Structure 1
């Protein structure tokens, strides 16, 4: 899949929405979180208003320690504290470090669970909590966002991906049975 993806896209980020219990402010709150690949913000060309975004240079197996929060979450839960960078924040039972705050107008361009994203978390998708060593059939990512290669249309990329699916099922019969449902659609 990597080979065909590289033929269609300049960059790709997996995205998986989640709802998390967040502590570290004045109280524990529920927050819309988005698990992404480490290069998510680079792909979007998005820069925080405060601090930095996590990048591919932060990549390690499993979840990365740095997280980025939304402007709204920063205001509601941290009183717009300009010294927020470097503070620890607990998501569910794991401890993370806030490295950036996105500007007020920044929104995730895809679907989320219920509301705008409050917290962005990066993972390498090949370390705990994902199986180690990685098992292809157990690493299904619900969605991805991508930037097309220059000069390639959406229709051309869709046709390339559609043509590749039968080959993928043949190559990895035990991981991806022929009866598996594939959903590789552009919006």
Structure 2
């Protein structure tokens, strides 16, 4: 929030935190890379979805990391683990024994922040991080899109 309010060059800024975990929803557990991501990560990167929709602000509890109402999965994971089941959207996947409702499957070829990233869980900032004083305790990475007409030079 602080960066959004105090910048003149970015159209939007998204924040994400990378993790490795285990999908535990089917008989065979599977290690996967995943990330908590603000909905603005996807407005910055603008991926398409194969199924469902992108995550949005209502998919998390503001200021409460871990309370997630929306997850995106990669096209690769959807095919590999779930057999390209179109009924997966609206159901839950279990990551590290926590259930997360799937809201969408991303387009083939979308890889961010790594080629192996298979899931993105919605999250929002705790209020203490949304101020200039809170930026010193920042533990996340960011991605941004320049406003039209703004150059790197």
Name the TM-score, length of structure 1 as normaliser: 0.68
The C-alpha deviation readout for 1:102-156, integer Å capped at 9, x for no partner, is 1212222x4x3xx421001111121xxxxxx62626741331100011222224x
Alignment of 1:129-148 (within 5 A): 134=128, 136=134, 139-148=137-146
Q: What is the aligned length? A: 144
Alignment of 1:64-143 (within 5 A): 64-108=68-112, 110=113, 112=114, 115-126=115-126, 134=128, 136=134, 139-143=137-141
Gaps of 5+ in 2: none
Specify which structure has the higher proportion of strand.
2
CA contact (8 A) 1:14 1:141 kept: no
2:20 alignment partner in structure 1: 19
The C-alpha deviation readout for 1:51-75, integer Å capped at 9, x for no partner, is 1111234343224221000011111
- CA distance in 2 between partners of 1:22 and 1:122 (Å): 17
Q: What SS class does the counterpart of residue 86 from structure 1 fall into?
A: coil
Gaps of 5+ in 1: 127-132, 156-187
- CA distance in 2 between partners of 1:45 and 1:18 (Å): 22
CA contact (8 A) 1:41 1:47 kept: no
1:151 alignment partner in structure 2: 149
The structure having more radius of gyration, on CA atoms, is 1
